[in-house]
Structure 1
């Protein structure tokens, strides 16, 4: 075997050629910049930005549906004579459109984390000035922010429409604030649950199915059991059953602390005492999901 210059490999005339690699002598932006970049790219990716046109269709369609429904509600309220308030409360909007939110999360949570696991790119992340906690926090924050944009933008449309219709300013502002707190809680909880389900498998299809199952099956089961319990005269158990589904958990929180109308059978939501239990379960779920993600990426980063 010979080299490009025709000399025998290993001979005295063999040498290593300088092919022009240079060391980087620019600014070292560090861990904070890497964390912010990961957050920004993950948030953009949740809406298909920076990706193919095909990747933009579903998230933009879901966002369009949410805003279109809000616009229709505003149009109906403005055009109906004698109307003094919106036909739907701000705190109820996300609950009614939970199916759209669930589809968005089921599609985008696996996109956020499954590809990194499937293509084994995690060691590349952790070879840079970024820690495991940075990756998990950035992904959680990005998904929660994407859900907050998805659910908060329609509330802004409702609020602006209410002001244009000259509805009571103080009442609408209070309701809008309560609604934003409600969707913020929903966004954090859904993001945590969705990323955990998606991170359990590198297969995107399995991740989609897992997210849909957690949101849809639990809500259907809890709602059914609540109705059966109410009809059999065990009204006291209805509020406690709401702890076992993400949607009903958020519904109970906003009923207890945000003055929202209850969607539970009989219209009776949890009071202040039960509301504290709802809050503890909410915090435990979010913390538990964070711990599961940290453990999952401890293994994946090796």
Structure 2
């Protein structure tokens, strides 16, 4: 009876064999990974996913509870005055809202600036700091997809912040049975101004935040970019008004983001100007305001594209 034979495992090839054993060194090992046979979703899916995650991240959704505190507080701070205005209008039986739709964001610009300063670095600085850019740009997303997704996400986050109080004011005006046509027109003008503000602020915030991987530096730089020009423009406008230099008061508003938006909505959306004298730019000067605002948005987008040409290397 022949002895029992047991199957023996084939010898394991090792890259460090004796000299001359080429067949033992040149071996491809199968370590058990399976090939992906599912659908290739492509660039559009990657762009949508990046947009969705960035928008949710702006309000701390899908992240730790600590990251939700500040954006939710700022969102509540934007909506609470609108609720108070509606309550006063309803119970006092006022014939119009105490605050214009187009003026609401100007009054609460400090809250908007804090939101931008906290979320613009969160959107882009973390990716630069932790070196995740090569992962984004490996495949299939391109640099333009990253910039478009981040720009659109922060713009929508700001629009949600500035537009929600306007919706509260509009619904409150209908509850108070104010003039439907007048309130609808004012609400539409306010939303147009909110879109322009969101585009401009998102572009400026992302450009500044993309310059440094340090989130703290980005926060400080965005706050400075929002507050210092406005303080300087307000001071010059006050001096110009005191000395009767109306021309200087009109043109100096071009040098601050919030006064730039205010000049556009004063010239074309029927808003009351925020200047000390209450005189907004004419239609011709308003065209300059509008062109500069659109150029700032387009320039911010172009600067972001240029910034990320080398960011993923």
Structure 2 length-normalised TM: 0.92
Q: 2:33 corresponds to which residue? A: 21
Change (3 A) 1:165 1:19: same
CA 1:8–1:231 in 2, change beyond 3 Å: closer, same or farther? Answer: closer
**1:233-289 deviation digits (Å, cap 9, x = unpaired):** 211111100000000000000000000001112100101000000011001111111
Matches within 5 A, 1:90-101: 90-101=101-112
Pair 1:183 & 2:190 matched? no
- Root-mean-square deviation over aligned CA pairs: 1.6
How much does 1:6 deviate?
11
What per-residue deviation string (whole Å, max 9, x for no partner) do you get for residues 97-153 of structure 1? Answer: 000000000000000000111111111111011111111111000000000000001
Distance 1:277 1:8 in 2: 71
Is 2:61 the counterpart of 1:49? yes
TM-superposition CA deviations, 1:8-38 (whole Å, max 9, x none): 9426778665331011110000011111111
> Runs of 5+ in structure 1 lacking a partner?
none
Q: Distance between the aligned counterparts of 2:207 and 2:183, measured in 1?
A: 36
Look up the SS of the partner of 2:277 in the other structure: helix
Structure 2 partner of 1:135: 146
1:124 aligns with 135
Cα 1:299/1:17, change in 2 over 3 Å? closer
Which residue in the other structure is 1:37 paired with? 49
SS in 1 for 2:308: helix
- TM normalised by structure 1 equals 0.95
Task: Give runs of aligned pairs for residues 195-274 of structure 1, distance below 5 A.
Answer: 195-274=206-285
**2:167 alignment partner, one of 137, 145, 156:** 156
| Secondary structure at 1:161 match in 2 | helix
Indicate the residue corresponding to 1:294 in structure 2.
305
Aligned length: 298
- 2:299 is equivalent to residue 285 of structure 1: no
1:290 and 1:17 mapped to 2: Cα distance? 47
The answer for the alignment partner of 1:10 in structure 2 is 17
Task: Select the structure of larger CA radius of gyration.
Answer: 2
**Deviation by residue 1:167-212 (Cα, 9 ceiling, x = unmatched):** 0000000000000000000000000000011001100011001110
